Structure 1
Amino acid sequence: MDSEGSFATKSIHAGSKPRVNHSMVCPIFQSATYEQPSLDQRYEDIKYLRLNNSPTHEHLDAKIGQLENGTALVLSSGMAAITTSLLALCSSGDHILMQDPCYGASTVFATHDLTRFGMDVTFFNSFDVQSIDEVLSLLRPSTRVIYVESIANPLTRIPNMPVIIEAAKLFGERHGTRIITMIDNTFATPYLQSPLQWGIDVVIHSSTKYLGGHSDVVGGVLVTNDKAIKERSDFYRLAMGLNPSPFDCWLVSRSIKTLAARMDRHSATGQSLAEYLSKHPRVSRVHFPGLPSHPDHNVAVRQMPRGYSGMVSAEFNLSLEETKRLISSFKVITLAESLGGVESLVDHPASMTHASIPAEERRAMGLNDGLVRFSFGLEDAHDLMTDIEEALAKVLAARETSKDHTATDDKVC
């Protein structure tokens, strides 16, 4: 059960024994509180819903913990996991080195809230660092956390984890301190990448995405194999009341059973659509780690041998208005926030996920108005290609019609 090839088996059976009343599926324990057998019961054995220790919560904790090879804490959302980990582990005066670009909400939280609490946040290009010395030059004695994403949102860049991990360890040894490495592994999932095995200290997931996989739940996960980090994060989670409901935990547990099969399909479809888009005359650039043209392709091959997810971003040779028309013309692909579900979704980062970031900052991050992010689901890849072709044809037909009207107006004048 601990071998590399046993992920699919563990995703189905982890955390399921002993079975409750011989049930093949962990029941939903919707009780807010539980009877205590006596006044002599230890505090840690008391079950109460806000303590996140119902059998349904514990089942999901155990399942994800085994898949990530650590100890998992489930939370109410991905942002709950991010805020819990950073606020629990950092204090006023601490320095946080954060990847740029990053998920929009993470960036806003870091710049607007962590700084308000007296923390110093600086951003760095975690993708182009080639040496340990480059990372060391960015660290300070006050640096507490290095924060990165396994596949960056939305440009799909991939950080060189071994270089970052080694730099954090070396700096800590030289200065008698400890720098905690933290990664948002939402896009990769534990199936495509296992950061704890590389030496990362804290792994974060939005289980709303691929772990949940069906667009019907909001949740988050924090995973670590460090006891002190786990206890501190757990205390903060409980103090802030960031616990998910038993039903949400049950939904994620159900979905994880098919995670391996789904991620294989997502990755295969993502690869097919990325190759298709990269050859399309109306596309100037495609961002997908599985393409040899991707700047981090070699890193991706080394760190993610099973695949690269269904996340593909493309820059279309269209105006802003034409890009909006393209997105609204899809019939199979749906315009919606989020990602990682069985259905394909499309997102316009400049006006959706990263809209809270000022336009100049967005452009500096490489997020132009023509960038479109796809979360390719489990539909037939050919159907998705046809959907894109038909939507593009509609946009180009409108362009030609506009030209004809302009020419006619010129003649009239």
Structure 2
Amino acid sequence: MKEQTKILHSIPVDELTGAISTPIYQTSTFVQEAPGLHRGYDYSRTNNPTRATLEQLIATLEGGSSGFAFASGLAAIDAVVKLLNAGDEILAVDDIYGGAFRLFTHIYQKFGIRVNYTDTTNTEQVAKAITPKTKLIWIETPTNPTLKISDIRAIAAIAKTHNILLCVDNTFASPAAQKPLELGADIVVHSATKYLAGHSDVIAGLVVTKNDDLGAQIKFIQNASGAILGPFDSWLTIRGIETLSLRIVQHSNNAQAVAEFLQTQGLVRNVYYPGLRSHPNHAVAKQQQKYFGGIVSFDLQADQKATATQLVKATRYFQLAESLGGVKSLVCLPSEMTHKSIPAAIRHQSGVTDSLVRLSVGLEDPEDLIQDLERALRIAAGRSIPVRS
């Protein structure tokens, strides 16, 4: 069964009414036939039919045993970290999402969970960074925002040798482009706010586990902590997933065109996109991803924050905003927005310069997007920009 067919037919027709659209069970509680005797649902924090449909859907798409829907991507990350105990250590990708860094460093560190950051594109470095206390390896691939690619299969082999869990943040790729569990990961997380929901109209997070034991642990944490996704937001996410594979193809095609254009611009120093042959991890990305995704990042010559700020304010179709993965194109300056909570020295070490610009390439016509960027680059430079030979 092809991916798009699998997506559409993993969403069941409602057994009660035959509704082809998943019903929104907007209820907090369910009537019981006798104390403790019910139809599988007693309270919507514990379980809800609409949320259950989404959870089964994402588990099917990722090839996992169980799926769980949370109120945000960070709530999903938080649930995974709660698998650990005080004294445990996380080995995390150095180019990490700012919200995850904030959660790891400012929340869990004070509870005795230490986080060590390393360049996970270097598997030898990953192996060397493991300590006897390492219980979880945390990678994003592609990373946010420099689009580094880690070899999931190779890191999974290292993790299994040391009996360590591997969690992959699959937000940037989505299961339409990459399936980490099939490559050996134990857990997958998503900010479903991004490509899965896909329309910039919901905040949601998802966790998928490879086996039932991990699933039971995450289920207990979800119910005990209570950061569940509501039924309407679950329905919005289901609706978004219905067109996921179609959108990912177009996002990727548009992003490839934008990345290739940016490579020709004199004001641009580096272009980060795994679909480019010049990308240092292109071969790994080509091996484990079906598509290269819709995110393109680039930084400017001389690392001029003022010039980058002018650029992101000058675009028309690329709207200046946080987040990514929606049908409309977005632009942001990570050093002042999504990654501002990360100390400058750490940002710079991982490649997030002060002039790095992140594009979420949407579904507009790529010619319009390229013209928009060309105009903004000229405004930012204050002059005509030479085209590279």
Deviation (angstroms), 1:137: 2.3
Cα distance per residue 1:165-208 (max 9 Å; x no partner)? 1111112xxxxxx3100010000000100001111000000000
Task: Give the corresponding residue for 1:33.
Answer: 29
Task: Give the corresponding residue for 1:86.
Answer: 81
Q: What TM-score does the superposition give when structure 2 sets the normalisation length?
A: 0.95
Report 1:66-85 matches (<5 A).
66-70=60-64, 71-85=66-80
Q: Does 1:168 align with 2:159?
A: yes
Deviation (angstroms), 1:399: 9.7
Task: Give the corresponding residue for 2:293.
Answer: 309
Cα distance change, pair 33–40 in 1 and its aligned pair in 2 (3 A):
closer
Deviation (angstroms), 1:86: 0.8
> 1:93 is aligned with what amino acid?
G
Task: Give the corresponding residue for 2:5.
Answer: 9
**What SS does the corresponding residue of 2:382 show, helix, strand or coil?**
helix
Report if aligned partners of 1:145, 1:182 keep a CA contact under 8 Å in 2: yes
| Distance in 1 (alpha carbons) for counterparts of 2:13 and 2:210 | 22
Deviation (angstroms), 1:40: 5.3
> 1:58 is aligned with what amino acid?
A
Report if aligned partners of 1:346, 1:373 keep a CA contact under 8 Å in 2: yes
Report if aligned partners of 1:61, 1:73 keep a CA contact under 8 Å in 2: yes
Task: Give the corresponding residue for 2:59.
Answer: 65
Unaligned runs of 5+ in 1: 172-177, 401-413
Deviation (angstroms), 1:325: 1.1
Cα distance change, pair 121–82 in 1 and its aligned pair in 2 (3 A):
same
Deviation (angstroms), 1:136: 3.0
> 1:157 is aligned with what amino acid?
K
Q: Does 1:321 align with 2:316?
A: no
> 1:158 is aligned with what amino acid?
I
> 2:76 is aligned with what amino acid?
A
Report if aligned partners of 1:328, 1:335 keep a CA contact under 8 Å in 2: yes
Cα distance per residue 1:96-151 (max 9 Å; x no partner)? 1111010011112112222111112111110122x4xx433222222110000121
| Distance in 2 (alpha carbons) for counterparts of 1:286 and 1:122 | 27
Task: Give the corresponding residue for 2:119.
Answer: 125
> 1:9 is aligned with what amino acid?
T
| Distance in 2 (alpha carbons) for counterparts of 1:201 and 1:397 | 50
RMSD between aligned residues: 1.6
**What SS does the corresponding residue of 1:191 show, helix, strand or coil?**
coil
Task: Give the corresponding residue for 2:140.
Answer: 149
Which of 234, 256, 261 aligns to 2:246? It is 261
Task: Give the corresponding residue for 2:107.
Answer: 113
- Quick one: percent identity of the two aligned structures? 38
| Distance in 2 (alpha carbons) for counterparts of 1:270 and 1:399 | 24
Report if aligned partners of 1:20, 1:27 keep a CA contact under 8 Å in 2: no
Q: Which has the larger radius of gyration?
A: 1
Report if aligned partners of 1:20, 1:26 keep a CA contact under 8 Å in 2: no
Deviation (angstroms), 1:284: 1.0
Deviation (angstroms), 1:7: 1.3
**What SS does the corresponding residue of 1:158 show, helix, strand or coil?**
coil
Determine which structure has the larger helix proportion and give its number: 1
Of residues 73-82 and 161-170 in structure 1, the stretch that sits farther from structure 2 once superposed is: 161-170
Report if aligned partners of 2:90, 2:116 keep a CA contact under 8 Å in 1: yes
Report if aligned partners of 2:322, 2:338 keep a CA contact under 8 Å in 1: yes
Task: Give the corresponding residue for 1:338.
Answer: 323
Deviation (angstroms), 1:398: 6.9
> 2:224 is aligned with what amino acid?
A
Report 1:205-220 matches (<5 A).
205-220=190-205
Which of 348, 354, 357 aligns to 1:363? It is 348
Deviation (angstroms), 1:228: 1.7
Report if aligned partners of 1:211, 1:259 keep a CA contact under 8 Å in 2: yes
Report if aligned partners of 1:29, 1:246 keep a CA contact under 8 Å in 2: yes
